[in-house]
Every structure is written in C-alpha cells, then in structure tokens.
Chain A
Amino acid sequence: MAGIGYALEKLILRDDLLGSFQSYTIGAIVSAGPWLFTIISLVGINLIVTDLLSVDQLSTFRIILIYNYSFSLVLSGPIIVITTRYFADQIYKNNVDQTPAIMLLALGLSYSVGIVVAVPFYIFFAELPVSIVMLAITNYLLITSVWVVTIFVTAIKEYRNYILSYAAGMLIAFFGGIYFFKLFNLSGLLFGYNLGLTVIIFSIIAKVLFTYPYEIQWPQKLIAYFKQYWELSLFGLFISAGIWIDKWIMWFSPEQQVVADVMVYNPDYDTAMFLAYLSILPSLAYFLVSSETGFNRRYQEYYQSIKCHATFSLIQVKHRCIIDYLIVNFRNIFLLQAAISLVAIIIAPHIILFFEGHYLQLGMLRFGILGAFFYVFLLFISTLLLYFDLRRLNLLLALTFLILNGSCTYWFMQSGYAYYGYGFFLASLVSFIVGLIILSNVLLKLPYYTFIKNNPSAI
C-alpha cells in the first residue's frame, strides 16, 4: 500500500530553510560603502578645489557632482541591491562562472537607466556648454559604475588593494582636476575628476575579470530577481531616496539657488549636511570591519549549527552569541559615535569656519550631526535585517525613513531657517527607534524567524 513515506526525505533534505543565509554576508559594504564614498567625495571638493574656482564655476561643478551622486545612487539602488543578492546567491552555490557577466549586465542596466534619465536632462533641460554636458553625462555613468563594481569588491577579499584603488582614484580625481582645470577651466576640472573615477572603476573591473576568467554566460535569472525579490528592489530605491529626500526638498526652500536654468540646490543646507555626515565616518568604518569579521563568524556559526543537526540547546547558545556580540558592539559604536558627535557639536563653529561656511549654518550642522548619529545606527539595523533576510521588515523600515524624512523636512522647512535640519534629525531618531524595535524583536525570536517566518517551505 502506498503509505505516507512520500516526500518526507525530500522535505528534510531541502535547502530552503538555509538557502537565504550567507546571502547577505557581503551586504555591509553595499549599504555603507557608497555612502562613505559619497561623503568623502563631496566634502573633498569643498576642501580642495574651493579656492581655485570662481563662485559660478564652483557652483556648476558642485551641482553636477551632487546631482550625479544623488540620482545615480537612487536610480541604481534597486540594481545594486538585487545584483548583490544574486551575486551572493551564486557564490553560495559555488557558481562563480557567471561573475563577469553579472557585472557587465548590472553595469548595462544602470547605464540604461542613466541614459534614459541623465542624458535627456543634461541635453534638453540644463543650460550648459556642450563640453560640460558631455563630461557631466560621462560623470554620471562613471559614478554609477563605481556603485556597481563595489558589489564585487567584497567577493575578492583583498581590501587593502581596494582601499588603495579608491584612494589613488580620488587623489587623481582631485589633483588631476586641478591640473586640467588650469588648462581647460571647468571642463578640465570635470575631465580630471572623471579620470580619477575611471582609474577606480577599471582597476576593479580588471581585478574581477582576472579573478574570474570565465566566458560571458548570460545570467538569465538576474532579471527575474527584480520581481522575485521585489521587496529588495523597492528597499534599494527607498533606502537611497531616504537619505537624499531632505536635500531634494530643501532645494526648494527660499534659499534655493539655480544653476544652468533648471538645476536647483541649497548650498547652505547641502554643505552643512555633508559636513555632518563626516562625523559618522569612524562608525561606518568600524561597522564595516566588525560585520565582516566578528559578526559574520557568529552568524555563520548559528546557521551552521542548524545545518549540522545541532540540538536546540546548542542552537540557543549560538543564538545567544549573536545577541551578545551585537549588544557589545552596538554599545561600543554607540559610545564611540556619541563621543565623536558630541565633540563635533561642540566644535561645530570651528568646522564651519574651517570650511568657510557662515554662522547661519551652525544650527543645520548641529541637527545634521545629531541626525547622522541616529542615521548611522539605522543603516546598521537595516544591514542586519538584510543579513537575516527579513526583506519585508527592511522595506518597511526604509519606507518609514523615506516618508518621515520627506514629511518632517517639508514641515520644518516652513518653520524657517532656524529649524532647517530638524526634520532630518527627527526622522532619523524616530526611524532608529522603529528599527531598534523591529531588530530586537527579530533577534530575540531569531530561531522562530529562521525556521518558520523566514522559511519559504514552511510559510
């Protein structure tokens, strides 16, 4: 008689439960990396090239970079997150043959988006000389490429070389910029800057192609991932839009400035915010390192114990290890960041002086530093949610921040100059609290999430 022995073995041996784990072990650099890069680049411009340029030239140069960094990060957000997920899944399956093709496809996708958005914008709307238009479009595509190729950096674990690539590239960007500026003015500056970006991109592409010398195999399922992991696609969009939306809104404040007819911005607010983000660099770096090492190991041990048929008490021990580690590290980063932010708030006037701002920016800078303080933890929480593959919760969190940052910024913009930046601070604070509640709830019930809530064959 046909019994019920049917599919039990299949059920028990199936991999769904553990399929998603390890997927995001390379997630940290993708959420923290681009932001790190953006801050350094934008602050660097202020620091290095300000004195050389006339006011008009500086505004044009700066606004092109801000627009390109901002819109390329948001528009390629879904592509970055989905490609990361797909690439991580391939690595997990030990299927690295597709790597060059994944990279090329991801670049192609981001370029298509860029061409649809950036090209018409610069050609038809912005009133800029032809040479600047060409260089601005190139710059957009190059920055997009930086986002995409960074995904592949973590796969080849030679961080030192990469940091060297980025550093060398940035140096070339700034000093090449200055050199060519002297020859060709603004076009030269942009050209030099693009040259630096090109160095970064090609050194990474070369390394990837060298490490994975495989024929191009069309990664068919990558496109399907956008639909299959729609929560991730939207998360990618919302998380990057969330950190830019306050700037976009402030560009329409009474203090807005207009460049090339259509390119609005708010130099006071933007600069204050970029300076504020500078304060979270140490935490970002610390988090990158600690998630790659200590956290990742405990995370792996937890899933390995399940996979290797541990008893539940052992799984509980491993679970406890993750929580303990996170508590200690959150406390460490919290203390470190609190100290840095406090000092930054105190010395804010000096910072403004140093960067040749004006005293009215003081309030914005201080709110910005406070906001950045909570934002950096929001970023950590979101990365951890990526690790645990809690896509819906993460989407919810990113959406919360996007909506709050948008609405609060808009609200406090009405209240006048003294409240500029308060919206961002409030949005970060509230989203951080929401995120903390979500994360602690998930962490405490991690085995329940692993086995049931997040297990496609159980739900």
Chain B
Amino acid sequence: MRRQNEGKEADICLIVEGAYPYISGGVSSWLHNLIQAQDHLSFSIISLMPSKQQLKIKYELPKNVFELNNIYLCDIKEGNKRLNEINSICKQLEKPLIDLQKNGGLFEISQIIRILSPFKDGLGKFQLLNSEAAWKLLLHMYQSTIPSASFLNYFWSWRSLLGSLYATMISPMPRAKVYHTISTGYAGLFAARAKLETGRPVILTEHGIYTNERRIEVMMADWFSEGIDEQLIQSKNSKTLRNVWIDAFQSYTNACYSACDLIITLYQGNQKMQLRDGADPKKLKIIPNGVDFDIVRKANISRSDTKLTVALIGRVVPIKDVKTYIRACNIVLDQYSELQVLIIGPTDEDPVYYQECKNIINQLECENKIKFTGQVNLDNYFNDIDILVLTSISEAQPLVILEAGAVGIPSVVTDVGACREMILGRNDEVPKLGPGGVVTSLASPISTANGMLKLLSDNKLRKGYGENIRKRVKQFYQKKDINSSYRKIYSEMMLKKTNQHIINQEYQWRA
C-alpha cells in the first residue's frame, strides 16, 4: 500500500531509517502505536531504506497516514546526463564534505543543501558519483583525510557514505507542520534538512543511540583492516578509515541534534550518551515506553499462591543470555527444590542456541524442573509467576518488566538499558517509591541467583517490592500518559512559528 497526496501539508512528518513500515520490531511497533494513538493528527512518512528491492509493508498503515515516501540510500536516482554545472558543484562541495568527514555539523549540511538545491531535479548518480568531477572530488577528499589508507576500501566507503548523503539531500521534501525523526543518522540528516528548508520545528526520539550502534558496527567490521597494518597506523596517531566512518556519523548526529527543537529518549542511560555526543542539555527530555495498565490488571485479578514460580520472558537467543539464567536457577534449586522454573518465549529463532541451553539443563540434571513453554499468551502465566528474571546482556527498555510490574510481580534484572531506572526509580522520582526488584551484574549466575534468593526467602519483601513496582508503573509508565505527552508535544510544536531566519539561509553565516 502506498499513498501519495502531493502538496497537502501533513501535521506530522515521521522520518524513519531502516524500520517502519517495512521491517517489524520494537521501533516499528512503537511508531505504529504512536500514529494510532494520535488519530486526530495527519501523518506523512519518509522511510529510508537501503534499496528498492524486496520492500514489503509489514504494518497496515493507519487511516491518518496519508503519504508514504521512500528514500533509497544505496539506489540514488540516475540523474540528468547533461549537467554542465557539475564541475563547479563538486568543487564547492569539497570543503563542506571534507569537514563533514572530520567534525562537522549543521553548518556543513546547510552549505551542501545550498550547493545542491538549485540542481536537485537533475542531479543523481551519474554526476554526483560517477562523473570525472566526482572522481576528482573523491581523490581530493582521500588525499586530505587518510592518504595512507587502502584506496579500494576508501573508494567503496566514499560511495556508500556520500551516495546515502546525496540521496537524503536531493529527495523531495514533503510539507508538514512538524518533522519527527526516529533516529539520527540519515533520517536525522533529512530532519536537519527539513529544519533548514522549511523552518518548522523538528523533534527527535532516539530509541537506541544511533552513533553508538554505528560505532560498534564499524569497530566490529573486520574488512576495514584488510591489507593494512592497523597498529602501525594507529601508533603514528593518524586517522584510519574507521575514524572516517565514525566521524561522518558523528557529524550527521551533530547536525541533527543542532537542528532539533526537542531531543527525546527512553531513559537516562541513553541521555548520557546524547550529552556525550554533543546534544544541548536544554533540549533533552525523557519519555519512556509504557504499558496499558488497566488491561493488564484486568487479566490478573486472581493470583494463585500454590507453588513458587520464577520465569524468564524473552526469545531464547544469545543476547538474552538464557544460559546464565539456567545456571542461576540451578543454584536456587539447591535450596528451593519445589521451585517451578519457566523460560517463556519463542525457541525457534536460534535453534543452535536453544539446543545448547537444553544441553546445559541436561548436564545440570534439572530437566524436570526447568521448562520451556515456547511462545504463549502471557496473560495466562502472569497469575502464576512470582518473580520475573531477565539476564539480557543488552536491552533498551524491556516492556515485560512493566507488564509484570503492573500486576505486582517484582523482577530480578541485569543492569542494562533502562532496567535499573525501572526497578529502582529515576533519580528525580518524587516521592521515592522504593525498589521494585533486584538489579544484578551481567553474565553472573551467582549475582542473579542471590537476587532470586533474596526475594524468595522473604515473602513480605517480595510482596512489598511487587507493590512498589506496581505503583511505579501506574505513576510513570502508563501508555495513556505517554500518548498524552506526545499529544502535548505535537500540539505545542505545531503552534510554533516558522523560523524565517533559517529559511532565508541566514544560518550558514551564523556558524
């Protein structure tokens, strides 16, 4: 399904990279809910995807979405073959592009927009990537940044980075009252462009920290080091290709943060990284994810108190570190042999890992006590669970803690993502509601086991913690409250006046 309604102004333009509506996952479901919850507003969506190939819409677009446009980062349009200005365009682009590969930001983006926008319709792959002028530009950029790096790798990196940048810069800009990007990166660049070209307010909601994810990705990719003695280069304290990539993404993020009126994230841990990456503290705001408190509660009126039960709820995959959970449970089972241990979640995503988990259970001889349920309806299980356990080595803001918390189940969770602040409360929580569980170290069966033992051994403490988390969910993590936060932000932003200075391109002189 593709809707287009040219010329009509949307209330909100959502800018999404590599997710909604083509890829399902946490961010996409969140967006889908957001659009549905704001059904009084009209939305247009810009979806940035690698290429045209194999795009299948995974969500039925809500009725208030009237436009969906795609930007293909790796498939920039061909462009007009006769464009005599390309030599001067490439010459002018050189400085802002080189700066953008060092430590640039909105100023460089504004210059690039100014250079490209008069020729937006004719420009494309043919001139920007494949012309002789572009080749000269590539050589100059290489010589001035990392002349001692593999040219082959630089060549492909350059094409990839600039191809995506150009695609973002020359694609049509839909009209909207407010632009809302769901990440920095190229989506953030598009948002920055929206700010510069329309003067309308721009909001950013970061779920994961884009720069951080790219940084990890770049550091993990081993093709960078091919044919190069990296240690040698690093000891000379010069730049490597990895730096070029990381610095480019950092520059994109700078541009996006500078352009945004409001920078939202899910929890404090992320906010620290945003500050480190140069976000203005005055623009920062936390809006967590929430759960439907009333519906969850209704499903769990009667709690049975027959047999103590602990459960890990999540996919059986390495990132959830189910093995640590199994080992921790083995320790706990020594003292509480009647304990029921559950692993609730799909087991088919990583069959090898699932088999490894089963092997450990067999070795520990607790096949009868630790049970995989597979994918089930959680409502039926919440009645029985006394303690929720999470041993993940990476999480953003796992909603299951809140869903369990809404029915008064305390959790034992590793100290990742937003887990600590959900369990112990944010620093600025008033009044302090007290702990809703235990926070443990990563990949430590003993630490997790101790947490479980602490709650199992003291019924009163467990119930008290359960009550604490229930109150916290009710007060801070209700979906309806979070929806109204966005409703309020949107209506405030929509009323803001258009920033004429920016449209008049005064920005570039200010920097």
Contacts and interface: CB of A to CB of B under 8 A. Distances in A.
6 contacts: A2-B19, A3-B213, A4-B214, A11-B156, A311-B148, A312-B142
Say which size band chain B's interface belongs to.
35 or more
Contact of A9 (B150, B152, B221): B221
A311 B151 contact: yes
Contacts of A7: 50, 74
B226 A309 contact: yes
Given A8-B160, A9-B223, A12-B156, A3 B217 contact: yes
A308 B226 CA distance: 8
Nearest to A310: B151
A139 to B, nearest CB: 50
A313 interface: yes
A328 interface: no
A306 interface: yes
Given A12-B156, A306-B152, A448-B135, A4 B185 contact: yes
B17 interface: yes
Contacts of B139: 312
B227 A452 contact: no
B207 A3 contact: no
A2 to B, nearest CB: 4
A445 interface: yes
A311 B150 contact: yes
Interface string A216-227: 000000000000
A316 to B, nearest CB: 10
A5 interface: yes
A353 interface: no
Contacts of B27: 1
Interface in A302-325: 306-313, 315
A309 B210 contact: no
A84 B87 CA distance: 40
Interface in B1-60: 17-19, 23, 25-27, 50
- Interface core residue of B25, B155, B157, B221 (most chain A CB under 10 Å): B155
A252 interface: no
Say which size band chain A's interface belongs to.
20 to 34
Contact of A6 (B25, B50, B142, B207): B50
Given A1-B183, A6-B50, 16 more contacts: A1-B19, A4-B50, A4-B214, A6-B18, A6-B74, A8-B156, A12-B152, A12-B153, A306-B151, A309-B152, A311-B148, A311-B150, A312-B142, A448-B135, A451-B135, A452-B129
Nearest to B131: A452
A2 B157 CA distance: 19
A206 interface: no
A116 interface: no
B93 interface: no
A3 B252 CA distance: 14
A1 B227 contact: no
B220 to A, nearest CB: 9
B147 interface: yes
B499 interface: no
B159 A458 contact: yes
Contact of B186 (A4, A307, A448): A4
A458 B186 contact: no
A55 interface: no
Interface of A: 1-9, 11-13, 17, 306-313, 315, 445, 448, 451-453, 458-459
A2 B50 CA distance: 11
B208 interface: yes
A7 B221 CA distance: 12
Contacts of B148: 311
B164 A309 contact: no
B286 interface: no
Contact of A452 (B25, B130, B160, B226): B130
B378 interface: no
Contacts of B186: 4
B348 interface: no
Contacts of A312: 139, 142-143, 147, 151, 154
Given A1-B27, A7-B74, A9-B223, A311 B18 contact: no
A458 B129 contact: yes
A309 B223 contact: no
A262 B223 CA distance: 67
Contacts of B17: 1, 3-4
A369 B489 CA distance: 87
Contacts of A306: 151-152
B469 to A, nearest CB: 27
3 smallest CB-CB distances across A and B, nearest first, come from A309-B227, A309-B150, A2-B18
B495 interface: no
A452 B133 CA distance: 12
Contacts of A309: 150-153, 226-228
A310 B228 CA distance: 9
A219 B231 CA distance: 47
A459 B214 CA distance: 27
B73 interface: yes
A7 B51 CA distance: 10
Contacts of B214: 3-5
Contacts of A5: 214, 217, 221
B506 interface: no
A16 to B, nearest CB: 11
A307 B150 CA distance: 9
A451 B154 CA distance: 12
Contact of B23 (A2, A311, A445, A451): A2
B180 to A, nearest CB: 16
B135 A452 contact: yes
B132 interface: yes
Contact of A308 (B132, B143, B227): B227
Contact of B155 (A6, A8, A451, A453): A451
Contacts of A458: 129-130, 159
A311 B149 contact: yes
A451 B228 CA distance: 20
A451 B210 CA distance: 31
B146 to A, nearest CB: 9
Contacts of B151: 306, 309-312, 315
B221 A1 contact: no
Contacts of B208: 1
B223 A313 contact: no
B156 A1 contact: no
A19 B228 CA distance: 22
A445 B133 CA distance: 12
Interface in B73-94: 73-74
Contacts of B147: 311-313
Nearest to B149: A311
A458 B223 CA distance: 19
- Interface core residue of A2, A6, A11, A13 (most chain B CB under 10 Å): A2
A17 B155 CA distance: 11
Nearest to B142: A312
Contacts of A12: 152-153, 156-157, 223
A351 B169 CA distance: 71
A453 B207 CA distance: 41
A1 B25 CA distance: 8
Contacts of A6: 18, 50, 74
A3 B18 contact: yes
A4 B164 contact: yes
A459 B142 CA distance: 21
A438 to B, nearest CB: 16
A459 B213 CA distance: 30
A43 B23 CA distance: 73
Contacts of A453: 130
B417 to A, nearest CB: 13
B73 to A, nearest CB: 6
Nearest to A306: B152
B147 to A, nearest CB: 6
- Interface core residue of A7, A12, A308 (most chain B CB under 10 Å): A12
